[in-house]
Structure 1
Protein backbone atom coordinates (compact mmCIF):
# COMPACT_ATOMS: atom_id res chain seq x y z
CA UNK A 1 0.00 0.00 0.00
CA UNK A 2 1.50 3.34 -1.08
CA UNK A 3 -0.88 5.70 0.70
CA UNK A 4 -3.12 4.77 3.62
CA UNK A 5 -5.89 6.94 5.00
CA UNK A 6 -7.44 6.56 8.45
CA UNK A 7 -10.98 7.77 9.18
CA UNK A 8 -12.04 7.68 12.83
CA UNK A 9 -15.23 8.15 14.82
CA UNK A 10 -14.64 11.26 16.90
CA UNK A 11 -17.38 10.24 19.34
CA UNK A 12 -15.04 7.49 20.56
CA UNK A 13 -12.17 9.14 22.48
CA UNK A 14 -9.81 6.21 21.96
CA UNK A 15 -10.30 6.16 18.19
CA UNK A 16 -8.01 9.11 17.42
CA UNK A 17 -5.35 7.74 19.77
CA UNK A 18 -5.41 4.44 17.91
CA UNK A 19 -5.15 6.24 14.57
CA UNK A 20 -1.99 8.05 15.68
CA UNK A 21 -0.59 4.83 17.15
CA UNK A 22 -1.08 3.02 13.82
CA UNK A 23 0.73 5.77 11.91
CA UNK A 24 3.57 5.89 14.43
CA UNK A 25 4.15 2.20 15.14
CA UNK A 26 3.81 1.10 11.52
CA UNK A 27 5.96 3.98 10.24
CA UNK A 28 3.35 5.19 7.76
CA UNK A 29 4.49 8.79 8.14
CA UNK A 30 4.05 10.99 5.07
CA UNK A 31 2.28 8.15 3.26
CA UNK A 32 -0.80 8.48 5.44
CA UNK A 33 -3.52 10.87 6.52
CA UNK A 34 -6.06 11.01 9.37
CA UNK A 35 -9.53 12.54 9.14
CA UNK A 36 -12.84 12.39 11.00
CA UNK A 37 -15.38 10.02 9.47
CA UNK A 38 -17.89 12.91 9.39
CA UNK A 39 -15.73 14.99 7.02
CA UNK A 40 -17.21 13.53 3.83
CA UNK A 41 -15.99 16.23 1.42
CA UNK A 42 -12.42 16.12 2.76
CA UNK A 43 -12.47 12.32 2.65
CA UNK A 44 -13.56 12.34 -1.00
CA UNK A 45 -10.71 14.70 -1.93
CA UNK A 46 -8.00 12.90 0.04
CA UNK A 47 -9.11 9.49 -1.22
CA UNK A 48 -8.21 10.45 -4.80
CA UNK A 49 -4.61 9.36 -4.25
CA UNK A 50 -5.18 6.72 -1.57
CA UNK A 51 -4.81 2.94 -1.86
CA UNK A 52 -6.62 1.92 1.33
CA UNK A 53 -8.81 3.60 3.93
CA UNK A 54 -8.84 2.19 7.47
CA UNK A 55 -11.89 3.04 9.56
CA UNK A 56 -11.83 3.09 13.34
CA UNK A 57 -15.26 2.88 14.96
CA UNK A 58 -18.08 0.56 14.01
CA UNK A 59 -20.46 -0.12 11.14
CA UNK A 60 -21.82 3.44 11.36
CA UNK A 61 -18.34 4.78 10.77
CA UNK A 62 -17.98 2.57 7.71
CA UNK A 63 -21.31 3.79 6.32
CA UNK A 64 -20.24 7.43 6.64
CA UNK A 65 -16.82 6.85 5.12
CA UNK A 66 -18.07 4.62 2.33
CA UNK A 67 -20.35 7.31 0.90
CA UNK A 68 -17.23 9.43 0.31
CA UNK A 69 -14.87 6.81 -1.09
CA UNK A 70 -17.17 4.37 -2.93
CA UNK A 71 -17.07 6.56 -6.08
CA UNK A 72 -13.28 6.18 -5.98
CA UNK A 73 -13.40 2.37 -5.81
CA UNK A 74 -11.00 2.31 -2.86
CA UNK A 75 -11.11 -0.66 -0.45
CA UNK A 76 -11.99 -0.25 3.22
CA UNK A 77 -10.56 -2.02 6.25
CA UNK A 78 -12.66 -1.66 9.38
CA UNK A 79 -11.38 -1.82 12.96
CA UNK A 80 -14.27 -2.35 15.35
CA UNK A 81 -14.66 -0.12 18.38
CA UNK A 82 -18.45 -0.22 18.21
CA UNK A 83 -21.00 -2.90 19.03
CA UNK A 84 -22.03 -5.35 16.30
CA UNK A 85 -19.36 -4.75 13.69
CA UNK A 86 -20.86 -6.78 10.83
CA UNK A 87 -18.74 -4.96 8.26
CA UNK A 88 -15.56 -4.52 10.29
CA UNK A 89 -12.68 -6.93 9.83
CA UNK A 90 -10.47 -6.40 12.89
CA UNK A 91 -10.83 -5.75 16.61
CA UNK A 92 -8.52 -3.63 18.74
CA UNK A 93 -6.72 -6.46 20.58
CA UNK A 94 -3.84 -7.56 18.36
CA UNK A 95 -4.56 -5.03 15.63
CA UNK A 96 -0.93 -3.83 15.45
CA UNK A 97 0.27 -7.38 14.79
CA UNK A 98 -2.39 -8.03 12.14
CA UNK A 99 -2.33 -4.78 10.14
CA UNK A 100 1.02 -5.35 8.37
CA UNK A 101 -0.50 -8.38 6.58
CA UNK A 102 -3.19 -6.19 5.08
CA UNK A 103 -0.81 -3.39 4.17
CA UNK A 104 1.51 -5.81 2.39
CA UNK A 105 -1.18 -6.56 -0.22
CA UNK A 106 -2.49 -9.87 -1.50
CA UNK A 107 -5.70 -9.88 0.56
CA UNK A 108 -8.98 -10.57 -1.20
CA UNK A 109 -11.38 -7.71 -1.90
CA UNK A 110 -15.03 -8.35 -1.09
CA UNK A 111 -17.44 -6.25 -3.18
CA UNK A 112 -20.90 -5.35 -1.87
CA UNK A 113 -23.85 -4.00 -3.84
CA UNK A 114 -25.30 -0.56 -3.08
CA UNK A 115 -28.55 1.31 -3.74
CA UNK A 116 -29.18 4.66 -5.44
CA UNK A 117 -32.18 6.80 -4.46
CA UNK A 118 -33.57 9.90 -6.20
CA UNK A 119 -36.37 12.08 -4.84
CA UNK A 120 -38.99 13.61 -7.14
CA UNK A 121 -41.34 16.32 -5.96
CA UNK A 122 -45.08 16.41 -6.59
CA UNK A 123 -45.93 16.38 -10.29
CA UNK A 124 -42.39 15.58 -11.45
CA UNK A 125 -41.64 12.56 -13.63
CA UNK A 126 -38.40 10.70 -14.25
CA UNK A 127 -37.42 13.26 -16.90
CA UNK A 128 -37.44 16.05 -14.32
CA UNK A 129 -34.45 17.15 -12.29
CA UNK A 130 -34.39 14.98 -9.16
CA UNK A 131 -32.90 15.56 -5.74
CA UNK A 132 -29.96 13.26 -5.31
CA UNK A 133 -28.91 10.73 -6.22
CA UNK A 134 -28.13 9.40 -2.76
CA UNK A 135 -26.10 6.20 -2.47
CA UNK A 136 -26.68 3.66 0.31
CA UNK A 137 -24.68 0.65 1.39
CA UNK A 138 -27.25 -0.55 3.95
CA UNK A 139 -30.73 0.74 3.20
CA UNK A 140 -33.10 3.46 2.12
CA UNK A 141 -36.03 3.97 4.53
CA UNK A 142 -39.20 5.95 3.92
CA UNK A 143 -40.85 6.50 7.30
CA UNK A 144 -43.33 8.71 9.12
CA UNK A 145 -42.18 12.06 10.43
CA UNK A 146 -44.75 12.23 13.24
CA UNK A 147 -44.72 9.64 16.00
CA UNK A 148 -48.48 9.16 16.14
CA UNK A 149 -49.33 8.98 12.42
CA UNK A 150 -48.90 6.23 9.85
CA UNK A 151 -48.15 7.03 6.21
CA UNK A 152 -49.71 5.77 3.00
CA UNK A 153 -47.22 4.42 0.46
CA UNK A 154 -47.85 3.07 -3.02
CA UNK A 155 -45.09 0.66 -4.02
CA UNK A 156 -44.27 0.21 -7.70
CA UNK A 157 -41.77 -2.45 -8.78
CA UNK A 158 -40.44 -2.40 -12.34
CA UNK A 159 -43.41 -0.27 -13.37
CA UNK A 160 -46.05 -2.56 -11.84
CA UNK A 161 -48.26 -1.39 -8.95
CA UNK A 162 -47.67 -3.94 -6.18
CA UNK A 163 -49.48 -2.56 -3.15
CA UNK A 164 -50.69 0.57 -1.42
CA UNK A 165 -50.22 0.19 2.30
CA UNK A 166 -50.61 2.19 5.47
CA UNK A 167 -47.64 1.65 7.72
CA UNK A 168 -44.97 3.26 9.85
CA UNK A 169 -42.78 3.13 6.76
CA UNK A 170 -40.96 0.85 4.36
CA UNK A 171 -37.36 -0.31 4.03
CA UNK A 172 -35.43 -1.22 0.91
CA UNK A 173 -32.22 -2.91 2.01
CA UNK A 174 -29.18 -4.38 0.32
CA UNK A 175 -27.91 -7.82 1.29
CA UNK A 176 -25.33 -6.03 3.46
CA UNK A 177 -28.11 -4.06 5.16
CA UNK A 178 -30.33 -7.11 5.62
CA UNK A 179 -28.81 -7.65 9.09
CA UNK A 180 -29.81 -4.15 10.19
CA UNK A 181 -33.14 -2.34 10.36
CA UNK A 182 -34.78 -4.74 7.89
CA UNK A 183 -33.91 -7.73 10.07
CA UNK A 184 -35.23 -5.96 13.17
CA UNK A 185 -38.51 -5.41 11.29
CA UNK A 186 -38.83 -9.11 10.48
CA UNK A 187 -36.95 -9.32 7.19
CA UNK A 188 -34.62 -12.17 6.15
CA UNK A 189 -30.84 -12.19 6.33
CA UNK A 190 -29.21 -12.46 2.90
CA UNK A 191 -25.70 -13.53 2.06
CA UNK A 192 -23.79 -10.20 2.16
CA UNK A 193 -22.29 -10.84 -1.28
CA UNK A 194 -25.72 -11.30 -2.85
CA UNK A 195 -26.91 -8.51 -5.15
CA UNK A 196 -30.58 -9.11 -4.26
CA UNK A 197 -32.51 -6.44 -2.35
CA UNK A 198 -35.15 -6.73 0.37
CA UNK A 199 -38.37 -4.71 0.66
CA UNK A 200 -39.75 -4.77 4.21
CA UNK A 201 -42.85 -2.85 5.38
CA UNK A 202 -42.71 -1.33 8.86
CA UNK A 203 -45.72 -2.31 10.98
CA UNK A 204 -48.08 -2.33 8.02
CA UNK A 205 -51.76 -1.96 9.00
CA UNK A 206 -53.29 -2.22 5.52
CA UNK A 207 -51.93 -3.72 2.30
CA UNK A 208 -48.53 -5.36 1.95
CA UNK A 209 -47.37 -6.90 5.23
CA UNK A 210 -44.73 -9.38 4.13
CA UNK A 211 -41.13 -8.98 3.00
CA UNK A 212 -40.28 -9.21 -0.70
CA UNK A 213 -36.88 -10.29 -2.05
CA UNK A 214 -36.20 -8.57 -5.38
CA UNK A 215 -33.67 -9.13 -8.12
CA UNK A 216 -30.69 -6.76 -8.34
CA UNK A 217 -31.93 -4.95 -11.45
CA UNK A 218 -35.33 -4.07 -9.97
CA UNK A 219 -36.47 -0.46 -9.97
CA UNK A 220 -38.60 0.43 -6.95
CA UNK A 221 -40.75 3.55 -6.61
CA UNK A 222 -42.31 4.65 -3.33
CA UNK A 223 -45.11 7.20 -3.81
CA UNK A 224 -46.18 9.06 -0.68
CA UNK A 225 -49.96 9.39 -0.75
CA UNK A 226 -52.51 10.64 1.78
CA UNK A 227 -51.82 13.76 3.85
CA UNK A 228 -48.96 12.81 6.15
CA UNK A 229 -45.40 14.00 5.62
CA UNK A 230 -42.50 11.55 5.77
CA UNK A 231 -38.72 11.30 5.81
CA UNK A 232 -36.37 9.41 3.54
CA UNK A 233 -33.32 8.17 5.43
CA UNK A 234 -30.22 6.98 3.59
CA UNK A 235 -28.05 4.60 5.64
CA UNK A 236 -29.58 6.01 8.82
CA UNK A 237 -27.87 9.39 8.91
CA UNK A 238 -28.70 11.30 5.72
CA UNK A 239 -32.34 12.45 6.04
CA UNK A 240 -34.57 14.36 3.62
CA UNK A 241 -38.23 15.49 4.08
CA UNK A 242 -40.89 14.03 1.78
CA UNK A 243 -44.29 15.69 1.26
CA UNK A 244 -47.52 14.05 0.09
CA UNK A 245 -47.36 13.63 -3.69
CA UNK A 246 -43.55 13.24 -3.69
CA UNK A 247 -42.02 9.96 -4.74
CA UNK A 248 -38.70 8.14 -4.48
CA UNK A 249 -37.07 5.92 -7.10
CA UNK A 250 -34.51 3.38 -5.91
CA UNK A 251 -32.28 1.36 -8.22
CA UNK A 252 -28.94 -0.39 -8.00
CA UNK A 253 -26.07 2.05 -7.53
CA UNK A 254 -23.24 2.09 -10.06
CA UNK A 255 -20.88 2.07 -7.07
CA UNK A 256 -19.88 -0.92 -4.98
CA UNK A 257 -18.43 -0.97 -1.49
CA UNK A 258 -15.08 -2.76 -1.43
CA UNK A 259 -13.71 -4.39 1.74
CA UNK A 260 -10.27 -5.83 2.33
CA UNK A 261 -10.65 -9.31 3.81
CA UNK A 262 -8.38 -12.00 5.21
CA UNK A 263 -11.17 -14.09 6.70
CA UNK A 264 -12.93 -16.61 4.46
CA UNK A 265 -16.47 -15.78 3.40
CA UNK A 266 -17.95 -18.37 5.80
CA UNK A 267 -16.66 -16.21 8.66
CA UNK A 268 -19.85 -14.15 8.26
CA UNK A 269 -22.02 -17.19 9.01
CA UNK A 270 -19.68 -18.53 11.68
CA UNK A 271 -19.99 -15.31 13.68
CA UNK A 272 -23.58 -14.40 12.81
CA UNK A 273 -25.29 -15.52 16.01
CA UNK A 274 -22.61 -13.97 18.19
CA UNK A 275 -22.85 -10.62 16.43
CA UNK A 276 -26.62 -10.67 16.75
CA UNK A 277 -26.35 -11.46 20.44
CA UNK A 278 -27.97 -14.87 19.96
CA UNK A 279 -26.85 -18.22 21.35
CA UNK A 280 -26.77 -21.54 19.56
CA UNK A 281 -29.28 -23.96 21.07
CA UNK A 282 -27.88 -27.24 22.30
CA UNK A 283 -24.27 -26.09 22.24
Structure 2
Protein backbone atom coordinates (compact mmCIF):
# COMPACT_ATOMS: atom_id res chain seq x y z
CA UNK A 1 0.00 0.00 0.00
CA UNK A 2 1.28 3.45 -0.89
CA UNK A 3 1.90 6.16 1.67
CA UNK A 4 -0.87 8.71 1.21
CA UNK A 5 -1.03 12.27 2.50
CA UNK A 6 -4.38 14.03 2.95
CA UNK A 7 -4.46 17.84 3.02
CA UNK A 8 -7.78 19.47 3.87
CA UNK A 9 -9.31 22.92 4.22
CA UNK A 10 -9.69 23.44 7.96
CA UNK A 11 -12.32 26.13 7.43
CA UNK A 12 -14.73 23.53 6.04
CA UNK A 13 -15.85 21.13 8.81
CA UNK A 14 -17.01 18.53 6.29
CA UNK A 15 -13.51 18.43 4.79
CA UNK A 16 -12.05 17.03 8.00
CA UNK A 17 -14.87 14.46 8.23
CA UNK A 18 -14.20 13.21 4.70
CA UNK A 19 -10.43 13.23 5.21
CA UNK A 20 -10.78 11.12 8.35
CA UNK A 21 -13.07 8.68 6.54
CA UNK A 22 -10.55 8.30 3.72
CA UNK A 23 -7.73 7.66 6.16
CA UNK A 24 -9.58 4.99 8.16
CA UNK A 25 -12.13 3.44 5.80
CA UNK A 26 -9.85 2.88 2.79
CA UNK A 27 -7.22 1.00 4.80
CA UNK A 28 -4.32 3.31 4.05
CA UNK A 29 -0.81 2.42 5.17
CA UNK A 30 0.29 3.20 8.72
CA UNK A 31 2.66 5.85 7.34
CA UNK A 32 -0.18 7.78 5.72
CA UNK A 33 -1.04 11.12 7.30
CA UNK A 34 -3.57 13.94 7.45
CA UNK A 35 -2.97 17.69 7.85
CA UNK A 36 -4.76 21.03 7.49
CA UNK A 37 -3.55 23.01 4.48
CA UNK A 38 -2.35 25.84 6.70
CA UNK A 39 0.14 23.67 8.61
CA UNK A 40 2.31 21.98 5.99
CA UNK A 41 5.75 23.28 6.99
CA UNK A 42 6.08 20.68 9.75
CA UNK A 43 5.46 17.88 7.23
CA UNK A 44 8.33 18.67 4.85
CA UNK A 45 10.51 15.81 6.20
CA UNK A 46 7.75 13.36 5.20
CA UNK A 47 7.66 14.48 1.57
CA UNK A 48 10.21 11.95 0.33
CA UNK A 49 8.19 9.02 1.69
CA UNK A 50 4.79 10.23 0.41
CA UNK A 51 3.57 8.64 -2.83
CA UNK A 52 0.32 10.55 -3.38
CA UNK A 53 -1.42 13.57 -1.85
CA UNK A 54 -5.20 13.96 -1.72
CA UNK A 55 -6.57 17.45 -1.21
CA UNK A 56 -10.04 17.96 0.26
CA UNK A 57 -11.25 21.50 -0.37
CA UNK A 58 -11.15 23.71 -3.44
CA UNK A 59 -8.57 25.17 -5.78
CA UNK A 60 -7.04 27.16 -2.93
CA UNK A 61 -6.31 23.95 -1.04
CA UNK A 62 -4.52 22.55 -4.09
CA UNK A 63 -2.46 25.73 -4.45
CA UNK A 64 -1.39 25.46 -0.82
CA UNK A 65 -0.62 21.77 -1.22
CA UNK A 66 1.66 22.19 -4.24
CA UNK A 67 4.09 24.25 -2.18
CA UNK A 68 4.63 20.97 -0.31
CA UNK A 69 4.27 18.48 -3.17
CA UNK A 70 5.89 20.40 -6.03
CA UNK A 71 9.59 20.22 -5.06
CA UNK A 72 9.22 16.50 -4.33
CA UNK A 73 7.15 15.83 -7.51
CA UNK A 74 4.37 14.14 -5.53
CA UNK A 75 1.17 13.54 -7.56
CA UNK A 76 -1.95 15.34 -6.33
CA UNK A 77 -5.62 14.45 -6.73
CA UNK A 78 -8.21 16.95 -5.55
CA UNK A 79 -11.69 16.41 -4.11
CA UNK A 80 -13.89 19.45 -4.61
CA UNK A 81 -15.49 21.10 -1.60
CA UNK A 82 -14.96 24.64 -2.86
CA UNK A 83 -16.92 27.00 -5.08
CA UNK A 84 -15.22 26.41 -8.42
CA UNK A 85 -13.12 23.26 -8.32
CA UNK A 86 -11.40 24.06 -11.61
CA UNK A 87 -8.31 22.06 -10.62
CA UNK A 88 -9.97 19.29 -8.65
CA UNK A 89 -10.58 15.86 -10.14
CA UNK A 90 -13.29 14.30 -7.96
CA UNK A 91 -16.61 15.27 -6.44
CA UNK A 92 -17.47 14.36 -2.86
CA UNK A 93 -20.12 11.78 -3.75
CA UNK A 94 -17.72 9.73 -5.89
CA UNK A 95 -14.49 10.11 -3.92
CA UNK A 96 -14.63 6.95 -1.78
CA UNK A 97 -15.39 4.74 -4.78
CA UNK A 98 -12.82 6.22 -7.17
CA UNK A 99 -9.83 6.89 -4.91
CA UNK A 100 -8.66 3.24 -4.92
CA UNK A 101 -8.02 3.58 -8.67
CA UNK A 102 -5.48 6.31 -7.89
CA UNK A 103 -3.87 4.22 -5.17
CA UNK A 104 -3.39 1.33 -7.61
CA UNK A 105 -2.03 3.45 -10.45
CA UNK A 106 -5.12 2.94 -12.64
CA UNK A 107 -5.41 6.60 -13.57
CA UNK A 108 -3.93 9.07 -16.04
CA UNK A 109 -1.42 11.57 -14.70
CA UNK A 110 -0.95 15.07 -16.14
CA UNK A 111 2.36 16.81 -15.58
CA UNK A 112 2.29 20.58 -15.08
CA UNK A 113 5.19 23.02 -14.95
CA UNK A 114 5.66 25.19 -11.88
CA UNK A 115 7.51 28.43 -11.19
CA UNK A 116 10.28 28.90 -8.65
CA UNK A 117 10.83 32.38 -7.24
CA UNK A 118 13.58 33.74 -5.00
CA UNK A 119 13.59 37.18 -3.35
CA UNK A 120 16.96 38.96 -3.15
CA UNK A 121 16.89 41.84 -0.70
CA UNK A 122 18.79 44.99 -1.71
CA UNK A 123 19.86 45.86 1.83
CA UNK A 124 21.48 42.52 2.59
CA UNK A 125 23.19 39.59 0.94
CA UNK A 126 20.45 37.23 2.04
CA UNK A 127 17.66 35.69 -0.01
CA UNK A 128 14.16 34.50 0.82
CA UNK A 129 12.66 31.41 -0.73
CA UNK A 130 12.59 29.56 -2.94
CA UNK A 131 8.82 29.77 -3.36
CA UNK A 132 6.94 27.46 -5.73
CA UNK A 133 3.85 28.40 -7.73
CA UNK A 134 1.48 26.32 -9.85
CA UNK A 135 -0.44 29.34 -11.18
CA UNK A 136 1.55 32.55 -11.00
CA UNK A 137 3.98 34.85 -9.27
CA UNK A 138 2.89 38.50 -9.13
CA UNK A 139 5.01 41.51 -8.21
CA UNK A 140 2.54 44.24 -7.34
CA UNK A 141 2.31 47.56 -5.56
CA UNK A 142 1.89 47.67 -1.81
CA UNK A 143 -0.89 49.31 0.14
CA UNK A 144 -0.04 52.74 -1.26
CA UNK A 145 -1.99 53.42 -4.44
CA UNK A 146 0.84 54.11 -6.85
CA UNK A 147 2.56 52.23 -9.65
CA UNK A 148 5.74 50.21 -9.27
CA UNK A 149 8.78 50.74 -11.47
CA UNK A 150 10.39 47.42 -12.33
CA UNK A 151 13.44 46.67 -14.46
CA UNK A 152 12.84 43.41 -16.31
CA UNK A 153 15.41 40.95 -17.62
CA UNK A 154 15.19 37.60 -19.38
CA UNK A 155 18.18 35.30 -18.96
CA UNK A 156 20.16 38.31 -17.76
CA UNK A 157 19.39 40.47 -20.81
CA UNK A 158 17.41 43.71 -20.20
CA UNK A 159 14.01 43.82 -21.91
CA UNK A 160 12.31 46.96 -20.60
CA UNK A 161 11.43 49.00 -17.53
CA UNK A 162 7.83 48.53 -16.49
CA UNK A 163 5.77 51.22 -14.80
CA UNK A 164 2.58 49.40 -13.92
CA UNK A 165 0.28 48.30 -11.14
CA UNK A 166 2.09 44.97 -11.24
CA UNK A 167 3.85 42.30 -13.30
CA UNK A 168 2.55 38.72 -13.61
CA UNK A 169 4.58 35.65 -14.49
CA UNK A 170 2.25 32.71 -15.01
CA UNK A 171 2.46 29.07 -16.00
CA UNK A 172 0.23 27.51 -18.64
CA UNK A 173 -2.00 26.30 -15.80
CA UNK A 174 -2.22 29.82 -14.42
CA UNK A 175 -2.76 31.46 -17.79
CA UNK A 176 -6.54 31.22 -17.26
CA UNK A 177 -6.30 32.99 -13.90
CA UNK A 178 -5.01 36.55 -13.22
CA UNK A 179 -3.17 36.59 -16.56
CA UNK A 180 -6.43 36.10 -18.47
CA UNK A 181 -8.22 38.73 -16.37
CA UNK A 182 -5.74 41.39 -17.54
CA UNK A 183 -5.89 40.38 -21.21
CA UNK A 184 -3.10 37.81 -21.38
CA UNK A 185 -3.17 34.76 -23.68
CA UNK A 186 -4.49 31.33 -22.73
CA UNK A 187 -1.94 28.55 -23.12
CA UNK A 188 -2.59 24.85 -23.50
CA UNK A 189 -2.56 23.45 -19.93
CA UNK A 190 0.15 20.95 -20.86
CA UNK A 191 2.37 23.59 -22.48
CA UNK A 192 5.78 24.20 -20.91
CA UNK A 193 5.73 27.91 -21.76
CA UNK A 194 5.36 30.85 -19.37
CA UNK A 195 3.59 34.19 -19.81
CA UNK A 196 4.94 37.57 -18.67
CA UNK A 197 2.18 40.20 -18.51
CA UNK A 198 1.84 43.63 -16.93
CA UNK A 199 -1.14 44.90 -14.96
CA UNK A 200 -2.33 48.34 -16.14
CA UNK A 201 1.00 49.30 -17.72
CA UNK A 202 1.83 53.02 -17.82
CA UNK A 203 5.22 52.50 -19.49
CA UNK A 204 7.09 49.60 -21.05
CA UNK A 205 5.60 46.56 -22.74
CA UNK A 206 1.86 46.19 -22.39
CA UNK A 207 1.68 43.12 -24.64
CA UNK A 208 2.24 39.70 -23.11
CA UNK A 209 5.46 37.78 -23.70
CA UNK A 210 5.33 33.99 -24.08
CA UNK A 211 8.61 32.54 -22.83
CA UNK A 212 10.35 29.19 -23.06
CA UNK A 213 10.33 27.07 -19.88
CA UNK A 214 14.05 27.47 -19.25
CA UNK A 215 13.84 31.29 -19.17
CA UNK A 216 15.04 33.03 -16.02
CA UNK A 217 13.04 36.20 -15.46
CA UNK A 218 14.45 38.97 -13.27
CA UNK A 219 12.21 41.70 -11.83
CA UNK A 220 14.08 44.42 -9.95
CA UNK A 221 12.31 47.23 -8.11
CA UNK A 222 13.90 50.58 -8.86
CA UNK A 223 14.47 52.85 -5.88
CA UNK A 224 12.56 52.39 -2.62
CA UNK A 225 9.01 51.28 -3.32
CA UNK A 226 6.48 49.38 -1.21
CA UNK A 227 5.68 46.20 -3.11
CA UNK A 228 4.46 42.65 -2.54
CA UNK A 229 5.43 39.37 -4.18
CA UNK A 230 2.33 37.17 -4.30
CA UNK A 231 2.83 33.45 -4.92
CA UNK A 232 -0.35 31.77 -6.18
CA UNK A 233 -2.30 34.31 -4.14
CA UNK A 234 -1.41 32.19 -1.09
CA UNK A 235 1.94 33.60 0.03
CA UNK A 236 2.36 37.39 0.13
CA UNK A 237 5.99 38.41 0.61
CA UNK A 238 6.58 42.11 1.40
Q: TM-score scaled to structure 2, two decimals?
A: 0.92
Change beyond 3 A, Cα 1:187–1:103? same
Kept in 1, the 8 Å contact 2:3–2:29? The answer is no
Give 1:207's match in structure 2, choosing from 196, 204, 207: 204
Query: Using the alignment, how far apart are the partners of 2:84 and 2:221 within structure 1?
Result: 33
Which secondary structure does the structure 2 equivalent of 1:153 belong to?
strand
Match of 2:87 in 1: 87
Q: 1:200 Cα shift?
A: 1.0
Which secondary structure does the structure 2 equivalent of 1:108 belong to?
coil
Q: 1:96 Cα shift?
A: 1.6
Kept in 2, the 8 Å contact 1:116–1:136? The answer is yes
Match of 1:19 in 2: 19
Match of 1:254 in 2: none
Change beyond 3 A, Cα 1:43–1:65? farther
Query: Using the alignment, how far apart are the partners of 2:13 and 2:90 within structure 1?
Result: 18
Change beyond 3 A, Cα 1:49–1:122? closer
Give 2:225's match in structure 1, choosing from 217, 223, 228: 228
Q: 1:108 Cα shift?
A: 2.6
Higher relative contact order (CA 8 A, sep 6+): 1
Match of 1:141 in 2: 138
Which secondary structure does the structure 1 equivalent of 2:70 belong to?
helix
Q: 1:129 Cα shift?
A: 4.3
Kept in 1, the 8 Å contact 2:47–2:69? The answer is yes
Change beyond 3 A, Cα 1:153–1:15? same
Size of the aligned set, in residue pairs, is: 238
Match of 1:160 in 2: 157
Query: Using the alignment, how far apart are the partners of 1:227 and 1:44 within structure 2?
Result: 35
Q: TM-score scaled to structure 1, two decimals?
A: 0.78
Q: 1:147 Cα shift?
A: 4.3
Kept in 1, the 8 Å contact 2:4–2:29? The answer is no
Once the two structures are superposed, residues 191-234 of structure 1 have per-residue CA deviations (whole angstroms, 9 ceiling, x without a partner) of 12111000110111222111111111111111111442111111
Which secondary structure does the structure 2 equivalent of 1:199 belong to?
strand
Structure 2 runs not aligned, ≥5 long: none
Which secondary structure does the structure 2 equivalent of 1:110 belong to?
coil
Structure 1 runs not aligned, ≥5 long: 242-283
**Pairwise mapping of residues 233-272 of structure 1 onto structure 2 (< 5 A)?**
233-241=230-238
